[in-house]
Amino acid sequence: MKFDYHYFEGKFLPVVPIKLKGKKEWVEFIAFVDTGASYCLFKADVAELLGLKLEDGEKTEMVLGDGKIIVVYLHKINVNVADKEFPAYVGFSKELGINFNIIGRRSIFEQFIVCFNETERWIGFKSLD
């Protein structure tokens, strides 16, 4: 499945839809595909929206690109990316200070071959199944 880059804050970025399964229903978000990120990462209020108790997740610390260390709670939940549903580790943090969600490598890149085409501004996901 191929997604065109989105124009965001003066740049074209690889931003794709991702659905997260909450306690009752699926909720769709858009997220930046970040090959430098280990995990998917969302703000803490997304966990609340999904009906998850933030602190029930596995508490860990993550280092951001600017060197800042933040506390993250990892939850294993069902996600849907490129029309494929599977369980994934997703982190939620009260300290995430960026304006968008992140799709990281763990769980997601294990399901797909991911191809970035910077010249034509698209990102492709090919299922490994």
Residue 48's domain comprises 2-127
Q: Is 115 exposed, middle or buried (0-12, 13-18, 19+ CB in 10 A)?
A: exposed
pLDDT at 108: 95
- SS3 for 106? coil
Looking at the structure of the chain, the number of domains it has is 1
Please tell me the chain's helix, strand, coil percentages from 3-state DSSP, rounded to the nearest 5. Answer: 5, 55, 35
- Paired tokens of 18: 């991702």
Q: What is the pLDDT along the chain (129 residues), one digit of tens a residue?
A: 999 999 988 999 999 999 999 999 999 999 999 999 999 999 999 999 999 999 999 999 998 878 889 999 999 999 999 999 999 999 999 998 888 899 999 999 999 999 999 999 999 999 998
Rounded-to-10 torsion of CA 29, 9, 14, 33 = -60
Q: What is the CATH number of the domain that holds 93?
A: 2.40.70.10
C-alpha distances in Å from residue 73, one per residue of 43, 55, 104, 111 = 10, 6, 15, 22
Q: Whole-prediction pTM value?
A: 0.91
Single-letter amino acid code for the residue at 16: V
